[in-house]
Structure 1
Amino acid sequence: MQHFTKILAVSLALTVGIALPSFAEDAKAKPFTDAKEVNLLELLSPPPANDSAQMKAELGEILTIQVTRTPAMEARAVADAEENVWRFADVIDNPKFTKENLPKFSAFFDRIVETEDTVTGPAKKGWNRPRPHLYSDLVKPVVPLSKSGSYPSGHTTLGTLMGIELANMLPEKKAALMARAWEYGHNRVVGGIHYPTDIEAGRIAGTVIASDIAGHDDFKAEFEAAKAELRTVLGM
């Protein structure tokens, strides 16, 4: 029936010349807030200038890590390039912690992922800090490359935001979850794709976003449903 409805909508649009809705967009998760409400360009300090001593010092930190990181560290950084809540499975430590078992929880964190991207995107574009490998050809990242602005780190913003929400759902594991969120961000420096100040800014951004959306009614409702589902499935 749904397929027939879509076909009918397409036919009607072609007949009367109206704008055709995008069914793909209908399935996209909706962010809990946006860059107008959480304007990181106003909330965060600007990144170090390209010709500053701070920039050169941070490049030195990246290059030091580059020659000292182990294969295990590299593998961890590569794995953490994934932007989803399932990277916290090692802390949750329960075989039932899967997308299939947690549909409400999964949908909630899909919105969290979309929220991070919506908020950090304009700031990254506005400052347009060059990624380490674009700033110096001495940097050899081991994670997927990106040409988007480096500041703030979107991965770190997301990791911090996910860590906070998970810790609020599972306070028994708060310390371990937040430590994992911190590692998730740091692995962007280990991977050679971000500077340390990108990570610091991402942690601030993630915390600010978490504080902002906590007051939204839709967030409150979906958070409680996701929390209840998670604790039930995990037997907590």
Structure 2
Amino acid sequence: MKTISRLCLAALIAVSIASAPLAQAKEGKPYLAAKDLDLSSLLPPPPVSGSMKENEELAEVLRLQVTRSPDMVAQAQADATEDIWRFAGVVGPAFKSERLPKLTAFFIRVLASEGPLTDPAKELWKHPRPHQYSDLVKPVVKLSKSYSYPSGHATAGTLMAVVLANMLPEKRQEIMQRAAEYADNRLVAGIHFRSDIEAGRLAGTLIAATLMTRADFNADFEAARNELRAELGLPAMTALTALSQ
């Protein structure tokens, strides 16, 4: 009986070890922690509250508030969702979670890496959102409890776009344009200032560059890229062909 118990225990340990990467993916374990990249030392500070720059940015938000069409509002509300599938329109109809399990798990972890890096910067600067700065601003998306600078959505959108464009260099221009629209829709929604968006784009690029230095990220990236390109009917890529694009 003791022998059987030991065998059962060994089997359970083996199963738990084998399933660890899958569990990490399902739980969205971040590739990066706050210690891996100090955005507050790399981003410029936000505009000072009450400054001319801040008031100019408020004026832009208010202009958009009175000129945005129902279609613009609907798109901004749809883009309030943070996931890679917001790029389906430029990738194609085969770009679906149920068809791409490796890519799905991979981007969950990529997105999970954004918050631990942007949250400390938000807390440092404690920059108010437009509706907190002026009662005239009426956002059309769910309000957030976090501070405004840098924009987490702009960071996430840029981060996803850089990584996805590296998988699909044939569609790089379209992917990056979609990321720009995704970020700008936070202005349309009335939930961010222009400087928040610009800082988010820079933050997303910096996070992507940092991720590319990690062996675990690169291993998962290659597997997800191969799955995606096969599903889209595109030729496989090597590191050399990726650099030549």
Alignment size in residue pairs? 213
Give the conservation status (yes or no) of the 8 Å contact 2:25–2:108.
Answer: no
Cα RMSD over matched residues? 1.5
Q: 1:53 and 2:75 equivalent?
A: no
2:153 pairs, out of 152, 155, 175, with 155
Partners of 2:24 and 2:146 in 1: CA distance: 23
2:12 is matched with: none
| CA pair 25-164 structure 1, distance change in 2 beyond 3 A | closer
2:97 is matched with: 99
1:63 is matched with: 62
Partners of 1:181 and 1:45 in 2: CA distance: 21
Q: 1:76 and 2:75 equivalent?
A: yes
| CA pair 173-113 structure 1, distance change in 2 beyond 3 A | same
2:220 is matched with: 222
Letter in 1 for 2:32: T
Q: Which moved more, 1:142-151 or 1:171-180?
A: 142-151
Letter in 2 for 1:103: P
Partners of 1:26 and 1:41 in 2: CA distance: 28
Q: After superposition, where does 1:82-231 map in structure 2 within 5 Å?
A: 82-94=81-93, 96-231=94-229
2:34 is matched with: 35
Q: CA deviation at 1:27?
A: 4.6
Partners of 1:165 and 1:99 in 2: CA distance: 17
Q: CA deviation at 1:147?
A: 2.6
Partners of 2:68 and 2:166 in 1: CA distance: 33
Provide the secondary structure at the position in 2 that maps to 1:149.
Answer: coil
Partners of 2:68 and 2:131 in 1: CA distance: 17
Letter in 2 for 1:82: T
Deviations 1:136-186 (A, max 9, x none): 110001111113110000000000010011110011100000000011000
Q: CA deviation at 1:34?
A: 1.9
User: TM-score, normalised to structure 1's length?
Assistant: 0.87
Q: CA deviation at 1:107?
A: 0.6
Letter in 2 for 1:126: L
Give the conservation status (yes or no) of the 8 Å contact 2:159–2:204.
Answer: yes
Partners of 1:167 and 1:232 in 2: CA distance: 16
Letter in 2 for 1:46: P
Letter in 2 for 1:131: R
Provide the secondary structure at the position in 1 that maps to 2:114.
Answer: helix
User: TM-score, normalised to structure 2's length?
Assistant: 0.84
Deviations 1:107-134 (A, max 9, x none): 1100111001111111111111111111
Partners of 2:99 and 2:24 in 1: CA distance: 25
Partners of 2:28 and 2:167 in 1: CA distance: 21
Partners of 1:200 and 1:161 in 2: CA distance: 13
Letter in 2 for 1:190: V
Fraction of identical pairs, as percent = 55
Provide the secondary structure at the position in 2 that maps to 1:100.
Answer: helix
Provide the secondary structure at the position in 2 that maps to 1:36.
Answer: helix
